[in-house]
Amino acid sequence: MKNYILILSLTISSTLNLFAQDDKKIDELVFLYVDEKYDKVVDKSISLADNDNYKKHPLPYLYAAMGYYQMSRRPDKFPIAKGEEYQQPLKASQKYTYKFVKKDKNNEYSGDYKEFFDLLADTSNKLSQHYFLTEDYRKAASNYKYAYRALPNDPILQLWEGICEVKSQNTAEGDKNILEALDKIDENFTPSDVTSGVLAHGMLLVEEYLSQKGDASNANKAKKLVDVFKKYDPDELDKQKMEERKAKAKEDDKIMRKFYSEDEEDEEVEE
């Protein structure tokens, strides 16, 4: 964690030197973040985003996202439980990342924060997979939905959103996301390092589902892609190991629910 903060801090500092040399309000966010005062980072970032002079600037939204993300990793230090001031920090991080992406239309800053985007994708994916393995498909679909909105360049998140929507009986939304993801993923697709491990398993589930629906063309495509991407995590296709993962996930469920309170109904991401 310390190494990550140091690397990200250096990236932040270099970015500010390029784009905001005289902006003391943005500089303040840097120092608060480096000092691990994540609640203050969130408060000041959101306050800046509400300021007419900064509401179109991407960085306050990004700092809010990063602050919330770091709080989600520290349930012992920050008030993030249900009903507390910073509840549902992971979802809040996804929301503000989505806002950042919309504000950073020319990708002026995005390339400098890949480390953070990978961390957010990794955590979102792992949490959703936990929900999936414990058969809490509604929560899995919701978390994947917000993750994909925040990180629209990763269609693996969209594929799994579709799978989880189907599992939760929302077939219209599930079919839409599965087919859109299939259009984006082919044999030449290079998956993200942090989500590649679930791609082959996802394609296997999609192939089985589309075969049952009678969509032979897309089912065959998914079947071929299983072989293409199983090299990233062949264990995903081992039924015995999958059952072992499900059993472990159920044992860990109480701990996960304590860390990530997702009991409230879904809210649409603000435009």
Q: Are residues 100 and 153 in the same domain?
A: no
What's the Rg (C-alpha) of the chain?
19
Domain count of the chain?
2
In a domain, 121, yes or no: no
Domain hosting 99: range is 1-108
> How many CB atoms sit inside 10 A of residue 89's CB?
27
Per-residue confidence band for 239, with pLDDT thresholds at 50, 70 and 90: low
In a domain, 267, yes or no: no
At 110 the pLDDT is 87
Average pLDDT over residues 89-116: 93
In a domain, 174, yes or no: yes
In a domain, 268, yes or no: no
Q: Is the pLDDT of residue 19 over 50?
A: no
Please give the C-alpha separations between residue 140 and each of 34, 65, 99, in angstroms, as whole numbers.
32, 20, 22
* CATH code of the domain covering residue 209: 1.25.40
Q: Are residues 89 and 147 in the same domain?
A: no
Q: Is the pLDDT of residue 21 over 80?
A: no
Per-residue confidence band for 106, with pLDDT thresholds at 50, 70 and 90: confident
At 260 the pLDDT is 53
Q: Are residues 102 and 161 in the same domain?
A: no
At 16 the pLDDT is 46
Q: How far apart are CA 107 and CA 158, in angstroms?
A: 21
Q: Are residues 76 and 166 in the same domain?
A: no
pTM, rounded to two decimals: 0.83
In a domain, 93, yes or no: yes
pLDDT tens digit string along 182-191? 999 999 999 9
Pairwise pLDDT comparison (17 vs 28), residue with the higher score: 28
Count of alpha carbons within 13 angstroms of residue 105, beta-carbon side = 3
Q: Residue 172, exposed/middle/buried by CB under 10 A (0-12, 13-18, 19+)?
A: exposed
